[in-house]
């Protein structure tokens, strides 16, 4: 069960400064990533969370986000992956798992669980993050939140579809896809 309220639409995304894994190259693995830096870039942010490293559903999602990394970059969106595991566990997992070695986005380590708690996505029994995804606009406002049960992987193409729709700043009908007409009110 949830312990906090999930940070919802219209809320300001909380400030953070966390260790992130950005490489598996010795001496270049870690980077201090702050939300201030992302906000100052003037870009959108897509942050997706997974429960645990070295598990089964998680790497399928992470690899799929990585496959679509250029699509997020084309949309002026900073992609950030996160879990409550440490940066050392992240780097070990990246070195160990073939699909994760070439990741193009940072793996944020929320070892204090403070960000997951602020976001309201910490599962109360195991104290791991739910599979949550946040799309945050360049002004730092949460524009989309989705959460999945620990056992169910998300659909990365749907994250891109919603990002596209939000970026039109227009009315987008059900199942709208980039390039299709929007609605006139």
CA-closest candidate to residue 27, choices 91, 118, 115? 91
CA-closest candidate to residue 117, choices 18, 1, 8, 3? 3
Q: What is the mean pLDDT of residues 95-108?
A: 79
Instruction: Report domain extents, the chain.
Output: 17-154
* pLDDT band (50, 70, 90) for residue 132: very high
Q: Are 66 and 103 in contact (CB under 8 A)?
A: yes
pLDDT at 1: 42
pLDDT digits (tens, 9 = 90+) for 65-82: 888 999 999 999 999 999
pLDDT digits (tens, 9 = 90+) for 117-126: 999 998 888 8
* pLDDT band (50, 70, 90) for residue 3: very low
- Helix/strand number for the chain, H first, E second: 6, 7
Q: What is the CATH number of domain 17-154?
A: 3.40.30.10
Residue 153 CB contacts under 8 Å (≥ 6 apart), including other chains: 57, 60, 61, 131
pLDDT at 56: 60
Catalytic residues, which ones?
Answer: 58
Give pairs for 62-65: CB < 8 Å, separation 24+.
62/99, 62/100, 62/103, 63/99, 63/100, 64/156, 65/105, 65/156
Q: What is the mean pLDDT of residues 154-172?
A: 85
């Amino acid at each position: 069960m949830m312990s906090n309220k999930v940070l919802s639409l219209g809320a300001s995304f909380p400030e953070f400064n966390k260790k992130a894994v950005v490489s598996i190259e010795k001496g270049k693995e870690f980077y201090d990533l702050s939300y201030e830096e992302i906000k100052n870039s003037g870009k959108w942010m897509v942050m997706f969370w997974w429960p645990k490293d070295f598990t089964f559903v998680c790497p399928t999602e992470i690899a799929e986000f990585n496959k679509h990394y250029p699509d997020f970059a084309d949309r002026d969106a900073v992609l950030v992956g996160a879990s409550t595991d440490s940066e050392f566990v992240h780097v070990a997992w990246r070195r160990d798992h073939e699909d994760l070695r070439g990741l193009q986005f940072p793996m944020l380590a929320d070892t204090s669980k403070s960000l997951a708690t602020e976001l309201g996505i910490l599962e109360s029994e195991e104290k791991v993050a739910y599979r949550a995804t946040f799309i945050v606009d360049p002004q730092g406002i949460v524009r989309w939140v989705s959460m999945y049960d620990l056992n169910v992987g998300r659909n990365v193409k749907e994250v891109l579809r919603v990002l596209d729709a939000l970026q039109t700043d227009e009315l987008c009908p059900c199942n709208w896809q980039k390039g299709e007409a929007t609605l006139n009110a």
